[in-house]
Structure 1
């Protein structure tokens, strides 16, 4: 019985292996058969409107006149503005498209008004003639007579109260570095000039404070034989004084 079962299993195994071999040979012959070739053929493209070849267009570049170097005029006080139009990158067969400039909406009237914390300065310089200087031993009593009080910051301040009380109206500083005075060494101190300045808006009556500043500048200039200059270190004129007055009035309104 065991022998017969063994023979049956051997016969079944031979049949299975033979069937696999036959199937494999049939598959290989089918792949190599020339009948499969027509399915891989590509039909030629018909000349229809949908397949009409497109001729590449040359990129359209926005033309603009480039200024020569001799035509450039830069003002250090004015920011330079780039007025060129934004363009898209140039790629194969793509046209350069100019992006339209965005339309700016008008600002509300409330936003155009100057903010409340805007400030400005009035500056007056007192310059000694070339080769001469102010001696600290003479400058100290002069500023004390005009009501200035020495501060911890190293400046002389003119307060609303001549006794040195209340808000500061304007200050007197050294015109040259470091800008301060050494109160303990005024006998050895000297400078070629000093400066008076006030911050706008100021406490109290702005026009009265400016008149005091201008009067102090003239007295110091007369004391030392110095020249009064404006903020740009140009000779102070009557017209420039009027401009300072208008500047103070603008912050006093």
Structure 2
């Protein structure tokens, strides 16, 4: 019973205190506009004569803005903070409000592109890329050289050594004869005569089997046989073409003598003085300057 009574008293006391607080706040708000309300112009003049009003507050002096010197007005730049309510505008700066307020229109993507694109440099880059992509013109001298260059004329001189009748050259005998006359077995499995007898330097002429595949298999040279071999040289050649042809002809004649064969021309006909003159004319046509 006592606890219930105590609880009722506490609740009543809280209600009384809340009522007093609300009444006090309401009274203070009611008195505030009466103290600070705008007074008539006549009362302001009376107050100026006494200096202070009955509340002890001096009269408000109205300062007229000097619009003739706008440069003396210090503009208040907008800050970079955001308030829930807009700040009150001073009457002296009311005319400048439109200048101070920043534009709230959003920036479009096209405007951003214009702001961050440097047009002169972009144009200059385009010009450079255009210049690089254009092919460089070929000089007239280079064109003339390309036209004047013609395929190099080449000829192959062939002298054969054939066995007489239906005889065969034995591989081992043929190899020994070729080596005795300065021929060395080498590239493509055929024999070559080099500028140096040691087997180095440029090839002057070569000797191949007259029949396919044209090679000399050294691993089976004892079983190898053929009815003829072909000496050949290519024009133009290294060194003196006339001396090289003379050396090739002498080598072919020596091999034919050693093996009992015959020297024939590129058509496999017996060599004649007239055909030799034809060979020499071919060689001279490459030896003489054009």
Gaps of 5+ in 2: 1-144
Q: 1:221 aligns with which of 253, 256, 259?
A: 256
* Mapped pair 1:239 → 2:274: yes
1:176 is the counterpart of 2:211: yes
Could you say what secondary structure the match of 1:199 adopts?
A: strand
1: distance between equivalents of 2:270 and 2:235? Answer: 22
Separation in 2, partners of 1:126, 1:207: 20
**Residues 3-82 of structure 1: pairs in structure 2 closer than 5 A:** none
The runs of at least 4 consecutive aligned structure 1 residues that moved more than 4 Å come to none
How far did 1:238 drift? Answer: 0.9
Which runs of no fewer than 5 residues in structure 1 stay unpaired? 1-109
How many residues matched?
144
2:189 counterpart of 1:159: no
Map 1:79-94 onto structure 2 (within 5 A).
none
Q: 1:134 to 1:114 in 2, by over 3 A?
A: farther
TM-aligned CA deviation for residue 115 of structure 1: 3.6
Q: What value does the CA root-mean-square deviation take over the aligned residues?
A: 2.0
The corresponding residue for 1:72 is: none
Residue of structure 1 equivalent to 2:176: 141
TM-score normalised by length of structure 1: 0.54
Question: 1:177-216 alignment to 2 at 5 Å?
Answer: 177-216=212-251
1:153-177 deviations in whole A, cap 9, x for unaligned? Answer: 1110101111111111111000011
Report the Cα offset of residue 114 of structure 1. Answer: 9.5
Query: How far apart, CA to CA, are the structure 2 residues paired with 1:126 and 1:164?
Result: 23
Residue 124 of structure 1 aligns to a residue in which SS? strand
What SS does the corresponding residue of 1:233 show, helix, strand or coil?
coil
Q: Deviations over 1:172-192 (max 9, x none)?
A: 000011111101221111100
In the TM superposition, what is the alpha-carbon distance from 1:224 to its structure 2 partner? 1.4
Separation in 1 of the partners of 2:179 and 2:173?
11
- Number of the residue aligned with 2:164: 129
Computing the radius of gyration over CA atoms, which structure comes out larger, 1 or 2?
A: 2
115 and 235 in structure 1: CA distance in 2 versus 1, 3 angstrom threshold:
farther
TM-score by length of 2: 0.47
1:150 to 182, 185, 197: 185
Q: How far does residue 144 in structure 1 lie from its aligned partner after superposition?
A: 0.7
